Amino acid sequence: MIISINNAVLATQIFSAIFVALLLLSIRRQKGFAGLSVAVTQELKGFAILAIVLSHIGYFLVSDHRFLFPLTIAAGLGVNLFLFLSGYGIATSAISKPLSVWQFYRHRLLKIYTPFWIVVVIFFALDFLIGHKTYGLGYMFQSIIGFFPHADLWTDLNSPLWYFTLIIFYYLLFPLVFFRKYPCPSAVILYLAGYLIVRAEPSILDNVMHLYRIHLFAFPLGVLAAGLVSKYPGSRPQLVIQKLTEKFKDYKLANKIGYWLLMIFFSWLFVYAMRHSSIGGERWLEEATSLLTGAILIILFLIKKFEIKFFYWFGFFSYEIYLFHWPLMARFDIFYCFTPAWLATLLYLGLFLLLGWGMRKLLSKSK
């Protein structure tokens, strides 16, 4: 259901002011340089899921696309960040703690399928009980196994789940082609496998192939990054920065000036890249620009000397939020129909955190 809103520009200004205030209030001092740590990874995931959710609201849920602009322009970047971080994390884990193929499948697939199954069953039930909508057995079976060859916003069970099919493809393939001693060639094999499918253009994937094409590099690139970091530890960014910090530790003023100049430069570079994102142009250029923008953002998060807890907590529950955010807002709205758009958006963000926490608690008790 497309939602009509009034005063989109004013609503955006109010939401943006509160959103920025929440970000600033959540800033905490960081204890030393952390590199691409779990905390930094969660912050990046938080940025990614917020970019995706706000984009879905501004471009698809509401009738006036000025609402939440320009916070709505980074959805593609968010998807690439998720894929890159997933590839990086899974490869780093495989290098440090190798698992057999069966152990990998049992650990990784069960971890992502369990909350997925819960959400899919819940939305099938809600569609039947509240929406009086039914699905064919074939569609239900495809949904249960995680195969989504369509991404229709209004007719599919949960259109953002096209991404789930892509990530499952990589997860199924990863333990078969990843070699701990040769992580970089493994990344190339992963890319070639995806490229061959896109090149073949199977008719069953016609409706989502355009989405796969513009996100083909991100996951293998994450695996490649993990391989380079593990193979050449001297090239790790944290070691370089630590050495520079030790070298110039007696020049505190110069350090501060240099730090803020770097922050300003990469912030400007990120904004510039976002404004020239090449969306709607050549696919290769759009993907290359998105990956470059993602690299700039990662560097920015690596060099900052503070934590952003607001991003961290959205990153911590990002998978759960990804699974249920669209159907809740599009088919079972409880906020936009009763409150101003800016307030409804804030309430949904709070609800998503609460539901993510609830699902984590439920799954932890069932173990």
Instruction: Supply the pLDDT for residue 254.
Output: 73
Do 192 and 319 fall within a single domain? no
* SS3 of residue 308 by DSSP: strand
Task: Look up the pTM and report it.
Answer: 0.91
**Residue 113 belongs to a domain:** yes
Do 194 and 221 fall within a single domain? yes
CA distance 60 to 72: 10
CA distance 112 to 116: 6
Residue ranges in the chain assigned as alpha helix (H): 8-25, 38-56, 75-96, 101-104, 110-129, 137-145, 162-177, 183-200, 209-213, 218-231, 237-247, 252-275, 283-303, 309-316, 318-331, 341-366
Instruction: Supply the pLDDT for residue 180.
Output: 87
Q: How many C-alpha atoms does 313 have within 13 Å on its Cβ side?
A: 15
**Residue 149 belongs to a domain:** yes
CA distance 203 to 149: 10
Range of the domain at 157: 76-232
Do 174 and 280 fall within a single domain? no
**Residue 99 belongs to a domain:** yes
**Residue 2 belongs to a domain:** no
Q: Which candidate, 48, 55, 50, 47, places its Cα nearest to that of 72?
A: 55
Q: In tens digits, what is the pLDDT along the chain, a chain of 367 residues?
A: 788 888 999 999 999 999 999 999 999 988 766 667 888 999 999 999 999 999 999 999 999 999 999 999 999 999 999 999 999 999 999 998 888 999 999 999 999 999 999 999 999 999 999 988 999 999 999 999 999 999 999 999 999 999 999 999 999 999 999 998 888 999 999 999 999 999 999 999 999 999 999 999 999 999 999 988 876 554 455 566 556 556 656 667 777 888 889 889 999 999 888 887 766 667 778 888 889 999 999 999 988 889 999 999 999 999 999 999 999 999 999 999 999 999 999 999 999 999 999 999 988 877 6
**Residue 241 belongs to a domain:** no
- Token pair of 313 as six digits: 């907590």
Instruction: Supply the pLDDT for residue 303.
Output: 87
**Torsion 151-152-153-156 (CA) sign:** negative
Q: Count structural domains, the chain.
A: 3
